[in-house]
Amino acid sequence: MARTIVALHAHPDDESSKGAGTIARYSDEGVRTVLVTATAGEAGDILNPAANSPEARADLAAVRRSELRDAAAIIGYDDVVMLGYRDSGMPGTDENRHPLAFVNAPFEEILGRMVAIVRSEQPEVILGYDDHERYPHPDHLRIHDLSEDVFTAAADPDRFPDAGEPWAARRLYAPAFSLKRIRLLGKAMSDRGLESPFDRWIAGIDLHAEDPPLTQVDVRDHLERARSALRAHRTQIDPDGPWFQIPSELILSVYPYEDFELMAARDAALPDGMGLFAS
């Protein structure tokens, strides 16, 4: 049976900003890759002035679904599952109070749908989210809670008995906010007299702190594909904005990796630092 990864994400564009190079690499290596996206991102703003049109604003959900399909094709996902919940927006907003918002849907209902996907796809690896303490968007926090629970529930024959035969994935990872990466790329930008896009993100962060143990995936051969996927989210990503301020050649020479934190595992071996399927 071919290896499989199921990646859980909150909004369109998350799949392109978190681990896209890794999915592209594994897809090229014959791993089946399945994207599960909870919402259409309709509560988001249009962040690229060139894409801010009346047509886009009139039905942002449809636009972002289309962008997601384009990005997923670039990355190489074999299948895309849209769960169809509404973007929850931020706390205190009308979107967050909407009865169809992701955060207001019954937790067990969502979990059962995710369990059915995992049992059908039988992945060795599930990608979810960490606790997102640095970006506590309600939908991201819910993906964190769900990804931890789906790893356990999918393997439990007493949970969701109508959702298929139990399946025990080997590992649950989360794309990591790597302080090491920020330090190295930020210094490299400064050494070249360039403004670092990290400056506005890292206020209040202790950059001398240590990362938790992380698994690295070398994505040097897939960096441009990941960047192209991010550009496919035209309403969300300004090609002249901070996502692209760091030149590709600098990333390739300084830190051509994507980092992942191991959140749960069923095998005794710890990651060896060079791949999600390491044994």
Domain count of the fold of the chain: 1
In a domain, residue 188? The reply is no
Whether 54 is covered by a domain: the verdict is: yes
Q: Is residue 184 part of a domain?
A: no
> Residue 183 — very low, low, confident or very high, per pLDDT cuts 50/70/90?
confident
pLDDT for the residue numbered 248: 96
What's the rounded Cα separation, in Å, for the pair 20 and 7? 10
pLDDT on residue 219: 97
- Helix pair 223-231, 60-75: axis angle to 10 deg: 170
Domain membership flag for residue 202: no
Tokens of 52: 């801010």
Examine the pLDDT at 271 and tell me if it is beyond 60.
Answer: no
Give the model confidence (pLDDT) of 61-114 as tens digits.
999 999 999 999 999 999 999 999 999 999 999 999 999 999 999 999 999 999
Continuous segment of H or E residues that includes residue 179: helix 179-191
pLDDT in tens, 195-251: 888 777 666 677 678 888 999 999 999 999 999 999 999 999 998 888 898 999 999
What percent of the chain clears pLDDT 70, i.e. is strictly above it?
93
CATH of the domain at 244: 3.40.50.10320
Let me know if residue 199 belongs to a domain.
no
CA separation for the pair 26, 29 (Å, rounded): 5
User: In this structure, is residue 203 part of a structural domain?
Assistant: no
Evaluate whether residue 270 is within a structural domain. Answer: no
Residues forming a β-bridge with 34: 6, 79
The answer as to whether 24 is a domain residue is yes
Contact present, 231 and 239 (Cβ < 8 Å): yes
Q: What is the pLDDT of residue 29?
A: 95
What's the domain range around 174?
Answer: 4-178+214-265
Q: Is the pLDDT of residue 132 over 70?
A: no
Q: Which amino acid is at 252?
A: L
